[in-house]
Amino acid sequence: MPKFKALLTDFAWKDLEIEQETLDKADVELIVATHTNENALATLAAEHQVDAILTNWAKVTQKVIAASPNLKIVARLGIGLDNIDVAYCTEHKIPVTNVPDYCVIEVAEHTLALLLACARKIAMYHHETQNGTYDLQAGPLMRRVSGQTLGIVGLGQIGTLLAERALALGLRVLATSRSGKTMPGVETVDLERVLSESDYIALLVPATPDTRHMFGAEQFQKMKPTAYLINTARGALIDEAALAAAIENGELAGAALDVQDPEPPDLSKAPMNDPRVIVTPHAAFVSVESLENLRSRATKQVVDLLEGRTPENVRNPEVLG
């Protein structure tokens, strides 16, 4: 009999070799869910009386958490904690961990790639040539990226890396910063100035009740009609119906969305089916290096806790007292 049991709710990679190897060394049996709905996860947790839950995207609700009295840790295979009932975990002295820095380079690079794709009309030209039109005048004339303005909403780890890369390309960079963080070459401003002055706006803040639909009809009306909105953070930050209407009405030029609400989105409806919108499948975090880092560190957090050590990145540290 294994000493411990861990439930993996879901995963976004091809195999579980890294997780299995790490857990085997600590005599932890890995139970892999085949369905991610609340009832299925709660049933598995109760049936196996799991000591740990590892989750990628699946919702770890109060019902799932309460299903196993043995539960000692919930580890997020990612950064955001909006799919975990952290408050309930805290109430029951269960540590919640994440890996907040595993993919910051990848997300910064993906955000910049989307900016450049919008600026240079990459998707439009690709679509036209694939459909037999080889014409550099197939779309509106492009502007040089150098000298344009990028507005970053959220100057955290990813925002800082994006700003460094944008400055190297000659972009003027504005940023909002709730923490008051500053950096050389970046002008820290309020959201109103980001909206009115930016040619590209990148959203890099977490999804919370306060930030839900922080970009809606009112904000779009304040943007330049030539501006692009780029979201590699969380889909809930944007009112997608309002975005579709704003693009249709010419209030902004287009958007690039790596995240949507819900996921997967309905690709047959606006704004997802609008040729002025670039859509990627929540892929900004992905690279060989980032996934290896994420998987090994999250699994080690579980092992550390089960073997009596304090894991890294406990997001509710008050439970450790």
List, by residue number, the catalytic residues.
234, 263, 282
Residue 318's nearest CA partner among 90, 55, 136, 156 is: 90
Q: At what angle do helices 104-119 and 157-168 cross, to 10 degrees?
A: 40
Q: What share of the chain is helix, strand, coil (3-state, %, to 5)?
A: 35, 15, 45
Joined tokens for residue 162: 């994006």
Q: Is the dihedral of CA 128, 133, 135, 141 positive or negative?
A: negative
Contacts of 45 by beta carbon, 8 Å cutoff, 6+ apart: 7, 53, 64, 65, 67, 68, 71
- Concatenating the DSSP letter of every residue in 252-318 gives SSEEEES--SSSS--TTSTTTT-TTEEE--S-TT--HHHHHHHHHHHHHHHHHHHTTPPPS-BS-GG
- Beta carbons within 10 angstroms of residue 188's beta carbon: 16
Joined tokens for residue 3: 């000493």
Contacts of 9 by beta carbon, 8 Å cutoff, 6+ apart: 33, 36, 41, 53, 54, 55, 56, 58, 60
Helix-then-strand count for the chain, H and E: 11, 12
- Beta carbons within 10 angstroms of residue 75's beta carbon: 28
- Report the alpha-carbon distance of residue 260 to residue 238 in Å, rounded: 8
